[in-house]
Amino acid sequence: MSALPAGDPNATDHRPSTPDAHRPADGSLASRQAALVAALVAGGPPPPGFAPAPLAAARAALLRKRAGEVARHWPLLAAALGPSWPATFMAWAGDRPTGGGLRDGWDLARALQARRALPALGADELAVREATFRYDADEPPRRRRSPAVGRAGGAVAVQLAGRVRLIRPAR
Amino acid sequence: MTGPRGVGIGWRPEIAGFVAELPGLQFVEVIAEAVPTAGPPPDALVELRQRGVTVVPHGVRLSLGGAEPVEPARVAHLAAVAELLAAPLVSEHIAFVRAGGVEAGHLLPLPRTREAVDAVCANVARAQAELPVPIALEPIAALFDWPDDELDEAAFLSEILARTDALLLLDIANVHANARNRGTDPLALLDRLPLERVAYLHVAGGAEQGGFYHDTHTDPVPPPVLELLAELCARRRPPAVLLERDGHYPPAAELRAELDAVAAATGFPLVT
């Protein structure tokens, strides 16, 4: 498949509020496309009739591409995880449809933090993001207009008038 | 507004400096969704336009092959980018990228059925009604096929082009990838496509992995793709060819060598 470059400013706006990926197929093109996308990115059952190996290759290719996009949005998180980055991302993302690279990385960083598995550099990056944007995991991140403190795993970032500083890095 | 000509390269922010220094460059492509339309375009693109370089907006998220009608806001954005850059045409894919409210995050192949042809043609018509310039349609590389194809690839593509009156953006690396992964003859496909409709070509790198050829855009262009490119140009050379590179950018000398190899395969002048 053709590679799909990153950089879509709208990419954060498409997370489904109520995925209907598992609805029964009625045989129409729309329902069959939905079932295929669900199988590829949302942990849905493989649609009947498709050869399993090519479908698995496509699923893996989608995840690899997504891991690369998230790494571009969260370079410190990806770098801190180093060789384990692709596996860490793919294990987390396998049955989660993308919300765009920024949100995917954000959700993963918070999930890692919740289980105390967020590396220090990733915590620094998350703290800076938390101070810069308001993000509740349901709606796309919005730039904060008032001063804010962002914390993650011991890292503390402060944002004043749009300027963000990491005042205490995580260790 | 000059159409694409010669050897071009996909403009990406990461290689903007490299692209700006290509002395013979006459043509680039830009990912349409990455261009903001609220303000002026990125300075680097403005400078290319001032040099007379043609900039073609290349959409990746219209989902023209989706069963649902194409989203008007996405078409409006593509149209606005075309106006902003005074583009002579735009391009998009024969593919779908979302369904049932879920983003696939990538270009997915359509079943080659009459129903899918109808869906694509309806969406292309909706887009054409709003676009200020012609659209070129790009067949994608697919790692899998649907189980109930009614048409082969040549018939599927020819029917869509005939019914929409769209131009063809032929990606020679995709032709290679599909033939390699399906075990078919790429030359047989080229012989049945309407080559006179090709607005320009794409060429890109890829890699073998897990028994499949992956059209990664992050690896060098392999020799069989360059050979296929030469074969195509021997049949009928389109006005332009564009190298796509989307990551793992090599040193400038390697990227220049790749552009030179594309020029050699096509007979176009060097741009480096």
Hey, is the C-beta of B204 within 8 angstroms of any chain A C-beta?
yes
Hey, is the C-beta of B67 within 8 angstroms of any chain A C-beta?
yes
Q: Are B201 and B172 in contact (CB under 8 A)?
A: yes
Give the nearest partner residue to B104 out of A18, A40, A50, using CB atoms. A40
Q: Which of A99, A36, A38, A112 is nearest to A69 (CA)?
A: A99
CA-to-CA dists, residue A158 to A76, A113, A133, angstroms: 18, 19, 12
Hey, is the C-beta of B109 within 8 angstroms of any chain A C-beta?
yes
State which residue of chain A sits closest to B74, comparing Cα positions.
Answer: A10
Mean pLDDT of B205-229: 96
| Residues of chain A where predicted confidence (pLDDT) is lower than 50 | 1-24
Cα B64 from Cα A152, distance rounded (Å): 41
Q: What is the pLDDT of residue A27?
A: 86
Give the nearest partner residue to A19 out of B102, B147, B202, using CB atoms. B102
CB distance B144–A57 less than 8 Å? yes
Quickly state the pLDDT bin for B39 (edges 50, 70, 90).
confident
State which residue of chain B sits closest to A50, comparing Cα positions.
Answer: B147
Hey, is the C-beta of B116 within 8 angstroms of any chain A C-beta?
yes
State which residue of chain A sits closest to B11, comparing Cα positions.
Answer: A5
Quickly state the pLDDT bin for B139 (edges 50, 70, 90).
very high
Region for residue B260 given its phi and psi (left: phi exceeds 0; alpha: psi -120 to 50; beta: otherwise)? alpha
State which residue of chain A sits closest to B13, comparing Cα positions.
Answer: A7
Cα B106 from Cα A69, distance rounded (Å): 12
What is the model's pTM?
0.90
CB distance B105–A48 less than 8 Å? no
Q: Are B251 and B206 in contact (CB under 8 A)?
A: no
- ipTM (interface pTM): 0.94
Mean pLDDT of B5-32: 97
**B27-31 vs B6-11, strand pairing mode:** parallel
Mean pLDDT rounded to a whole number for chain B: 96
Q: Are B85 and B41 in contact (CB under 8 A)?
A: yes
Chain A residues lying within 8 Å of B247, measured CB to CB:
3, 68
DSSP secondary structure letters along chain B:
-PPP-EEEEEE-GGGHHHHHT-TT--EEEEEGGGS-SSSPPPHHHHHHHHTT-EEEEE-SS--TT-SSPPPHHHHHHHHHHHHHTT-S-EEEEESEEEETTEEEEEEEPPP-SHHHHHHHHHHHHHHHHH-SS-EEEEEPP-S---TT--S-HHHHHHHHHHHH--EEEEEHHHHHHHHHHHT--HHHHHHHS-GGGEEEEEEE--EEETTEEE--SSSPPPHHHHHHHHHHHHH---SEEEEE--SSPPPHHHHHHHHHHHHHHHTPPP--
Structure tokens given for B175: 């032709």
Residue type, B37: T
Q: What is the largest CA-CA distance in chain B?
A: 49
What count of residues does chain A have? Answer: 171
Greater pLDDT, B67 or A162: B67
CB distance A3–B210 less than 8 Å? no
State which residue of chain B sits closest to A54, comparing Cα positions.
Answer: B144
Residue type, A162: G
Q: Give how far A32 is from chain B: nearest CA, Å.
A: 9
Give the nearest partner residue to B210 out of A20, A55, A57, using CB atoms. A57
Chain B residues lying within 8 Å of A28, measured CB to CB:
67, 115
Q: What is the pLDDT of residue B258?
A: 98
Q: Give how far B89 is from chain A: nearest CA, Å.
A: 20
pLDDT at B32 over 50: yes
Hey, is the C-beta of B60 within 8 angstroms of any chain A C-beta?
yes
Give the nearest partner residue to B99 out of A11, A33, A65, using CB atoms. A33
pLDDT tens-place string over residues B174-213: 999 999 999 999 999 999 999 999 999 999 999 999 999 9
Hey, is the C-beta of B231 within 8 angstroms of any chain A C-beta?
no
Neighbours of A87 (CB within 10 A): 11
How many CA atoms does the CB half-sphere of A85 hold within 13 Å? Answer: 21
Share of chain B above pLDDT 90, in %: 95
Q: What is the pLDDT of residue B33?
A: 96
Q: What is the pLDDT of residue A137?
A: 86
Mean pLDDT rounded to a whole number for chain A: 86
State which residue of chain A sits closest to B30, comparing Cα positions.
Answer: A5
Q: What is the pLDDT of residue A26?
A: 73
Query: Which residues, at least 6 apart from B117, have a Cβ–Cβ distance to it below 8 Å?
Result: B151, B156, B159, B160, B163
pLDDT at B119 over 80: yes
Residue with tokens 């009604």: B129
Cα A153 from Cα A125, distance rounded (Å): 11
CB distance A54–B144 less than 8 Å? yes
Q: Are B189 and B112 in contact (CB under 8 A)?
A: no
Give the nearest partner residue to B101 out of A1, A16, A54, using CB atoms. A16
Q: What is the pLDDT of residue B1?
A: 56
Cα A81 from Cα A98, distance rounded (Å): 20
Q: Tell which of A4, A26, A41 to mutate to test the B interface (max B CBs under 10 Å).
A: A4
pLDDT at B251 over 70: yes
Chain B residues lying within 8 Å of A51, measured CB to CB:
144-145, 147
Q: Give how far B264 is from chain A: nearest CA, Å.
A: 24
Buried b (16+ CB within 10 A) or exposed e, B72-95: eebbebbbbbbebbebbbbbbbbb
pLDDT at B133 over 60: yes
Give the nearest partner residue to A62 out of B105, B210, B212, using CB atoms. B105
Neighbours of B162 (CB within 10 A): 12
